Structure 1
Amino acid sequence: MGKGIKMHRGLTEEEAKRRLKKYGKNVIERKERVGALKIFISQFTSPLILLLVAAAILSLFVNYLQHESSLDSILILLIVFAAGVAGFIQDYKAEKAIEALQKMATPKARVIRNGKEIEIDSSEIVPGDLVVLEGGDVVPADAEIIEGYLEVDESPLTGESRSVKKGVGKKIFSGCGIYSGSAVAKVFATGMKTKIGEIAAKMQELKEGKTPFQKHMESFTRKIVGVSAAIVVITFAVSFGKFGLVESLLIAVSLAVAAVPEDLPAVITIALSLGARDMAKKNALVRRLAITESVGCVDVICTDKTGTITEGKMKVRNFWFLENTKEARKLADYCCFFCNNAKQIFKNGKKVWTGDETEIALKKFSMKLVKEGGEKIEEIPFTSERKMMTVAYKLKKKIIFSKGAPEVLLEKCSSYVGGGKLTRAVKQKILEKNKEFASKGYRILALAYKEYEKPLEKNLVFIGLVILSDPPRPEVKEAVKECRKAGIRVIMITGDNPMTARAVANEVGIQSAGIVTGDELDRMSAKELKNALEKGVNIFARTSPFHKLKILEILGKEHVVAMTGDGVNDSLALKKADVGIAMGIKGSEVAKEASDIILLDDNFASIRNAVKGGRRIFDNIRKFVNYLLTCNLAEVLVVLFATLYFPFIVLYPIQILWINLVTDGLPALALAVDPARPDIMRRKPRKREEGIIDKKLATIIGAIGAEKAAIILMTFFATLPLGVERARSVLFTSFIIYELMRIGVIR
């Protein structure tokens, strides 16, 4: 390789400087970030918060006029501030996806300039530069190999954890690691023009949508604000002539405090936080708090296969031979071991495997029976076009080993172990066996050898087939079944072949009206894809991450979609999905930062658990909204009636605030942690447009609130002959007792 490098001149320093000025630095740019102060201020712009602030200011003004304590105003403002701080913390640390993209860039790179190999900052690489790469490096910019050979880890882009062999003329991409080999590559794209840069630009364009829950809460808040404002204005107008300015303001403030559920923002935040904590215990780490509830209304889950539905660990299951002899088995072990570039290296003080997942499985299996040794003489690497790999080794004698796709390798073979000639009929028998194994979800490789002679890949001796598989996780079948009962559709999107995809889907219970491949997806219009989905196609094979976006765009119009992903290319789909779910073990940092939920165990069953947790949280939120609004409605009706009927104030703002914060708030928190109902995963997901308060709940709140107000007012009338102060105390106590009884009924 060294001699080859000396033949390259590369760019001159002057030309490199000119191009740096023209194309800019090799960095991922990002739009100007929103400052911390702006994020903090934005927390206080919701209508409910503004109403609370207005009530606090009015209360402060009235207390000032009456020379009384401002404790009620201070309490309201403390609640507002606490809610703002909690929201600020969540929002401030929510967006780090672009920073993760920047971290993928290598700080230093080796380039050839003026005929010399030098080390420069990777940010100074320009299009046309010749970069020198070898095992252990990270590709600093998009480039094309002009000399040499590399094994590249493209999982940061594709999510597929297998090495890709790259020779002259092949493209390599920024951020991808190199397992082995050495090469010179010519840079054709830097910075925002690289694949990673294009993804960064698209991510900056995508605005994070509001969850259905956030939209419902905003609508709910606007209604509360409208009703409260109307009640306050009417009451002030009615009472002004009766009580005068100061007293009328005090009554209006009392009603504002009674109408607004001050502790609702805090209780919802705590409920979501506790729900997120419970989900984390079950391996689903929530990154956006509002998603904690929203995952409960998911009705479609689009999931990867490898590592999510399956274990993600390729294993050798068996061999198949035309003649099952000791010689054939020994040669198969040797072929698996030597025709293999997987190896163990030390990383952070531990031994780890690097290389293609299939080769790692073959090496792990054969190393128990074959000892390391010998000398590699030649290698013809695997490529996606060749679909086979050949090595020549000097052991006791020179020997050639080959492995590859059965249909390709058999064309290079003329005989098989045992001395027989490989006729067309025998080849057909082998291919039929290969098809049989593949239909069951196995990955099949053919093995061959011969004593050393050139050409290396001619007149090989067929050894047999090695059968590998990545088995489904044992708990996934039950999880898929439970999702189906819960009205949730499971769609599998995989880069694997259709036969393997079908076999795995059948094993875990994913039913599908056919399979659509990536090539077919490319040719489909949006209408055709929609028709396929409506017919019940739930398996997509040989897909790329960008196919996920196409599927998501169709599904997202009518469904609440959860999408899984692990590669950099998946980040766009994760960002756009209603619920983006990244893999915690094999996922790239970019995918994790673009997601709403991170699966700590990469397990599909954990998605099911998250959905269950989300449904439970919504049920509990509905319970305490029912409880709080029933209480607040009763307070409003009592204060409103008393204002019109009595010449004095029946409840002071501080008393109402005490009822709302202490008597309402603490029991509401208890409702927030109620366990899930037994039928929670046996009912269909609620519709996207279904809010917290439906017609049935609104009727219940209205009826119970009015009944409660009537009973409490009767109690007040009964005790009024004992004096206003005593009657006021009884009224205050009645509210507390009735609300504690109400919580038991709701449960």
Structure 2
Amino acid sequence: MTEHFHPGLSPEEVTAARAAHGDNALPKLPPQPWWRALLRQFESPLIVILGLAALAAGMLGEMVDAVVIGAVIVLNAVLGFAQEWRAERALAALTAMLVPTATVRRAGLARAVPATEIVPGDILLLAAGDRIAADGALVSAADCEVDESILTGESLPVRKLLGAEISAGTSVVSGRAEARVTATGPRTAFAEIARLTGGVDRRPTQLQIALGALARWLGLAAIAVGGGVALLGIMVGKDVFTMVLTAISLAVAMVPEGLPAVVTITLALGARAMVRKQALVRRMQAIETLGAASVICTDKTGTLTENKMTATRLWAAGLEAEVTDPEARAGLAPVLPRMAEVCRSCTHASRHRGLDGALIENGSPTELALLALAEGLDDAPRSGMLSERPFTSDRKRMSCLIETGAGPRLLTKGAPDVLLGLVSHIATAGGDVPLDAGWAAAAQAAHEQLAAGGMRVIALADRAAVDAADTAEERLTLLGFVGLIDPPRAEVAGAVARAGAAGIRVIMITGDGAITARAIAGALDIPADHVLTGAQLAEMPDDALAEALDRPVLFARTRPADKLRIVQALQARGAVVAMTGDGVNDAPALKRADIGVAMGQRGTDVAQEAADVILLDDNFTTIVNAIDEGRRQFANIQKFVRYLLSSNAGEVLALVANLIIGGPLIFLATQILWMNLVTDGVTAVALGLEKAEPGQMRAPPRQPRAPILGLSGFAMILAFGLYTGGASLFLFYSVLPVDPALANTLAFTAMVVFEKMSVFAFRSLRTPVTRIGWASNRLLIGALVITLGLQVSVVYIPVMQQILHTVPLGLIHWLWIAGLSLPLVALPELAKVVTFARQQRRDLRFQPDARIHGE
């Protein structure tokens, strides 16, 4: 129902309203001050303990140690603050991209505008899936239902009639409507309980939680070990203050304090990297989950195809013709005006020229293609719509009632297999005749022939209406079919092949017919031995569906509810599922999927809010690229976690072994702090920015519950710890009889160099560095140069010597360090060369399993 056509505000009225009412946005909380983020860096229990140690050192007259510990605390805070600030800025940039839009009519023309620019008096154009951007009153409604649960808690949608009020923040779940805006921004009913714009979910990911738990466990172990070491040292006659300070430093050495910050900044920068690949991450959890994806359930239209519809073929009254062939169309002439009327008037799409002559289009690609077809067939004006039965994914058709000179007429368009069950007559050159078995068979054959060519087929029908309330979709007359071509994206076939090589299964789930779906799947080499329709799926028990999913299958003529069932069936078999969707009814499946993927260009607001990732270009290739990026980031997190823990393991083993031997302290407390809080964090961040390894997308997906370390990780940490700790002890005791200060400096410097050189072993856990390039990570090379340069300054600059209790090293000492550093680079590289060659031989025989990984 509608009052009358509302042209909307003029540009001058919009300008005046914005000046009077401001932006349609809620008042924003002031940003967190920088000093509060800085103070957070001092909240760690270990930092508090270090502060107490510095205070104790000062009270006992050890001013140098007190100053050094204080300086290390401040430096650690500055580095942590810089990392957190960088991560916050990356997340803020993502949030800024999540600005919603709304469709309004202004000066008689529909246009999409940022939701913040809506003003009182605007005419909102609402469709299923839209998030309502402002309070208003309906001036037009067609089967409109609104989900108001965010305001009222009521789970059932509320039917809205002409004149009903709607509220900002609620969602249209079905039908269409137009509303005059009555309140915006802080004056809306929604203002007190929610915010208008979306944002990036900043809750910690499962990986961050797991690593936080690991850090806490190590913290408890560190306190226990540190206390034991202090007690042992005091029992063998060591100075009490020295042993207490050593115990504190040992605790710091055991706990990778920089680990949570490094993970956070890696995930944040990774999310920004995904934006460059046209994937906007709304939930950080998705970054780590993407790397484990084993199945991609994808729509067809716009994701696998270009979503650029063009009407190319027509069928009516037993005749078929190319749209661009006037002679062939001549045989359809008696029916074409009625077909054009349905295409022109049974739609909400619009096409017009702007002031600069550019074509401005509003509407779905299918409706715009039909509208362009109508304009090409004749130049008749659009008839006014009296009432409407909107298209839904369940009905798969749209009907509208128009007024003609001969009385009201019902126009219907939709899926052929749906409309063929609603028609009783067919239009021919000699007039409308009953649809007997012969005509029904001819129509069905025409539909199948068009679909076999990969076309989307739209059926058109009409009938005379009894009165303005007669909208029953029955006794229709079939006018014919329109074949629209939506070619596959050129790059998608390659992306499907990449997914297959990576052990990722691709399943097409489309609302199009089975024949069209099979044609597109064949063009893109998507495996599909059989096709299941939504109707077949509805009658299929769960065990039969599970059996069907064991084979290459595609789904056609599906409803959004079918997606949810498919996701659940795949997850029950151990798959990690990425599911695409764009409609309001796709939200349950997107939420249930391990990775919900919404379309950025054609996705509804509701679908985007339910998703974890938004494709800014609606392209299937972007999903595969995002999975590639997710694998890279998870692999890098594995690398720097192992690197940090192996560095700490060497220090701890050297300290404990030395105390058991009974020798003097191999590392002083300030030296331990220098190694852990100054040099390791920068290197770890650089390691987290490693490029993807060659062959990353030729390996099967990791298991979703695979540990970040595992047995191989612990073995690697222990091996590096034993070597670096043992080598440091060897150097220490080799020089100790000659000069204890020199022995301490030599062991301290060697441990720093060992840790820096061992980073090359962690740049790739499988691929030799010779394959990825020794200097391919320039940030890492820069971090190594800086940290090694700092260590040289510690050894030779008098002020730094006094602070960290070092003495100059000679050339022979540097040669010893270099010689013992060489195995840290050469042996892991040799082992990876051998295993890489074996893996390549296996890859030649590797064929990705078509079944679900993890069964």
TM-score normalised per structure 1: 0.72
**In structure 1, which of residues 440, 456, 473 is the aligned counterpart of residue 489 of structure 2?**
473
Aligned residue in 2 for 1:362: 370
Q: What secondary structure does 2:130 align onto?
A: helix
The answer for the alignment partner of 1:353 in structure 2 is 361
Aligned residues of 1:52 and 1:260 also touching (Cα < 8 A): no
Summarize the alignment of residues 111-510 of structure 1 with structure 2, pairs less than 5 Å apart. Answer: 137-138=123-124, 153-156=127-130, 170-173=143-146, 185=162, 211-241=205-235, 242-320=237-315, 322-323=318-319, 325-328=328-331, 334-335=337-338, 337-339=340-342, 340-341=344-345, 342-344=349-351, 352-355=360-363, 357-367=365-375, 369-370=376-377, 372-373=379-380, 376=383, 404=413, 405=416, 407=420, 411-413=424-426, 415-416=428-429, 424-446=437-459, 465-510=481-526
User: How many angstroms apart in 1 are the aligned matches of 2:718 and 2:489?
Assistant: 50
Deviation at 1:248? 1.6
Give the match for residue 73 of structure 1: 73
Q: Does 1:608 align with 2:604?
A: no
Query: Which stretch shows the higher mean deviation, 250-259 or 464-473?
Result: 464-473
Deviation at 1:610, TM superposition (A): 0.8
Whole-Å separation in 2 of the counterparts to 1:42 and 1:514:
60
Q: 1:701 aligns with which of 713, 717, 724?
A: 717
Distance 1:45 1:707 in 2: 33
How big is the shift at 1:55?
A: 4.5
Q: Which residue of 2 aligns with 1:178?
A: none
* Aligned AA (1:494): T
Q: Which residue of 2 aligns with 1:688?
A: 704
- Which 10-residue stretch deviates more, 186-195 or 711-720? 186-195
Comparing 439-448 with 398-407, greater Cα deviation is found at: 398-407
Q: Which residue of 1 aligns with 2:21?
A: none
Instruction: Specify the code of the residue in structure 1 equivalent to 2:303.
Output: T
In the alignment, residue 655 of structure 1 is paired with which amino acid? Q
Write the deviation string for residues 684-741 of structure 1: whole angstroms up to 9, x where unpaired. Answer: 1111221221212221221222112111211112222442222222222212332333
Secondary structure at the residue paired with 1:614? helix
Aligned partners of 1:525, 1:327: CA distance in 2, in Å?
50
Q: Deviations over 1:159-213 (max 9, x none)?
A: xxxxxxx9999444369xxxxxxx953759989998769xx9xxx9xx9986453
Q: Structure 2 matches for 1:585-734, cutoff 5 A? A: 585-645=601-661, 648-734=664-750
Contact 1:490 1:538 in 2 (8 A): no
- Answer whether contact 2:131 2:169 (CA < 8 A) is retained: no
Partner Cα separation in structure 2 for residue 234 and residue 353 of structure 1 = 75
Cα distance between partner residues in 2 of 1:647 and 1:63: 27
- Indicate how the Cα distance of structure 1 residues 427 and 392 shifts in structure 2: closer, same or farther if over 3 A, else same: farther
Deviations 1:386-426 (A, max 9, x none): 876787878xx999997744736873336337999987535
1:61 CA drift (Å)? 4.0
- Give the structure 2 partner of residue 9 of structure 1: none
Could you tell me which residue of structure 2 aligns to residue 18 of structure 1? none
Partner Cα separation in structure 2 for residue 541 and residue 428 of structure 1: 20
- Which residue of structure 2 aligns with residue 110 of structure 1? none
Change (3 A) 1:378 1:528: closer
Rounded to whole Å, the distance in 2 between the matches of 1:507 and 1:685 is 26
Return the alpha-carbon distance in structure 2 between the equivalents of residues 571 and 421 of structure 1: 42
- Taking a change above 3 Å as real, the CA distance of residues 358 and 745 of structure 1, as seen in their structure-2 partners, is closer
The worse-fitting range, judged by mean Cα deviation, of 573-582 and 380-389 is: 380-389
Deviation at 1:155, TM superposition (A): 4.3
Secondary structure class of the residue paired with 1:156: coil
Match of 1:598, SS state, is strand
DSSP-derived class of the 1:688 partner: coil
Contact 2:502 2:697 in 1 (8 A): yes
- Cα distance in 2, alignment partners of residues 694 and 309 from structure 1: 38
Q: For 1:266-289, what per-residue CA distance to the aligned partner results, in whole angstroms no more than 9, with x for missing partners?
A: 333343344333322211122344
Does the CA contact (< 8 Å) of 1:378 and 1:391 recur in 2? yes
SS in structure 2 at match of 1:585: coil
Q: What residue in structure 2 maps to residue 738 of structure 1?
A: 754
Deviation at 1:313, TM superposition (A): 2.7
- The residue type equivalent to 2:262 in the other structure is V
| C-alpha distance in structure 1 between counterparts of 2:219 and 2:422, whole Å | 74
Assess, with a 3 A threshold, how the Cα gap between structure 1 residues 547 and 559 changes in structure 2: closer, same or farther.
same
Greater RCO (CA < 8 Å, at least 6 residues apart): 1
| Unpaired segments ≥5 residues, structure 2 | 6-25, 105-120, 133-138, 149-159, 174-188, 322-327, 764-855
Conserved? CA contact 2:642–2:717, under 8 Å? yes
The answer for the alignment partner of 1:123 in structure 2 is: none
**2:554 & 2:462 partners in 1: Cα distance?**
41
The offset of 1:352, in angstroms, is: 3.2
Q: Which residue matches 2:118?
A: none
Post-superposition CA distance 1:55-112 (Å, at most 9, x none): 5544554455433402123234445555665677788999999x999x9899xxxxxx
* Partner amino acid, structure 2, of 1:279: M
CA deviations over 1:629-678 (Å, ceiling 9, x no partner): 22221111222233344564332333223323454334434432332222
Residues 59 and 72 of structure 1 are in contact (CA less than 8 Å); yes or no, is this contact kept in structure 2? no
In the superposition, relative to structure 1, how do residues 138 and 617 fare at CA in structure 2: closer, same or farther (>3 Å)? same
Deviates more, 1:556-565 or 1:228-237: 556-565
- SS at 2:712's partner residue? helix
Secondary structure of residue in 1 paired with 2:296: strand
Q: What are the ranges of 5 or more consecutive residues in structure 1 without an aligned counterpart?
A: 6-29, 107-133, 140-151, 159-165, 176-182
Q: Who is 1:543 aligned against?
A: 559
Q: What one-letter code is carried by the residue in structure 2 that aligns with 1:234?
A: G
Partner AA of 2:224 in structure 1: A
RMSD: 5.4
| Higher mean C-alpha deviation, range 347-356 or range 615-624 | 347-356
Over 3 Å counting, the alpha-carbon distance change for 1:43 and 1:74 in structure 2 is: closer
Q: Is the 8 A contact 1:335 1:402 kept in 2?
A: no
1:17-60 Cα deviation digits (max 9, x unpaired): xxxxxxxxxxxxx9xx9x979xx89997999x544554554455
Please say if residues 346 and 352 of structure 1, whose CA atoms lie closer than 8 Å, have aligned partners that are also in contact: yes
Contact preservation (8 Å) 1:328, 1:464? no
Q: Percent identity?
A: 31
SS at match of 2:219: helix
Displacement of 1:611 in angstroms is 0.7
What is the total number of aligned residue pairs between the two structures?
663
